[in-house]
Amino acid sequence: MKIFASDALLGKTFLVTGASSGLGRATSILIAACGGQVLASGRDSSQLAASINLMQGDKHIALPFTLSTADSLADWIKSVTLEYGALSGIFHSAGTALIRPARMTQQYHLEELMQSSLYSAFGIARAAASKGIIIDGGSIVMMSSVAGARGQSGMTAYSAVKAGIDGLVRSLACELAPRKIRVNSIAAGAVETEMHTKLTTNIAGTPMLDKYEQDHLLGFGQPEDIANAALFLLSDAAKWVTGTNLIIDGGYMA
């Protein structure tokens, strides 16, 4: 079902992290379908190429990059804009998940989570604060999770990281408001992606998984559900929306 006009993002360029799969891929495909150019970033070159092949148009570019530190990502984004011009927006979807009791969570688990999600989010913040990276009136959307607001056993580290994303978004929205650059996050419930499958494999067919799905009043989501929300926030339709954590969770928080 088509919701957005095919020219809704015409003439605009967006950087998408985590574009090689899942939510990043779905959002990239939708941006392209609405006329936008996608600069697709991810670790896996072959997966990025597959994402590009699914996008409408031939102006999209694969930019393999491994997220590590805030400094390296900020510098990389600046180099990208020097080559391709200022961005209309950024969709930060890259990240990893972790279900692990606090007593078994070690420093390297925390570092991996922080690097892929929170450190990289701060790298985007640093870059966006510089002139010439994002156009005035542009938009930044970062993926968060309902785990940042609702406690669950085994999710201590993941919840902490996502709560950090939401806090970063609120303050960055204040900093970039003079340039009319909007900054928002999406708190997603369980969406049926490759990552979701990996996380639920061990409880597949059990009452635990059934209960988890029932807690999502409308069932588990699809990547397109998040992509639609991301496109709204990236588009001019959300020109008066900033500092918001948009909950897209099929009723989980209810």
DSSP per residue, 183-242: EEEEEE--B-SHHHHHHHGGGTTSHHHHHHHHHSTT-SB-HHHHHHHHHHHHSGGGTT--
Residues paired with residue 89 on neighbouring β-strands, in sequence order: 14, 139
CB 163 within 8 A of CB 149: yes
CA 152 to chain centre: 22
Q: Kindly list the catalytic residues.
A: 158
CA distance 92 to 165: 11
Contact 15, 41 (CB under 8 A): yes
Q: Do residues 252 and 217 make contact, with C-beta atoms less than 8 angstroms apart?
A: yes
Strand order in the sheet with 13-17: 61-64, 37-42, 13-17, 87-92, 134-145, 182-188, 245-248
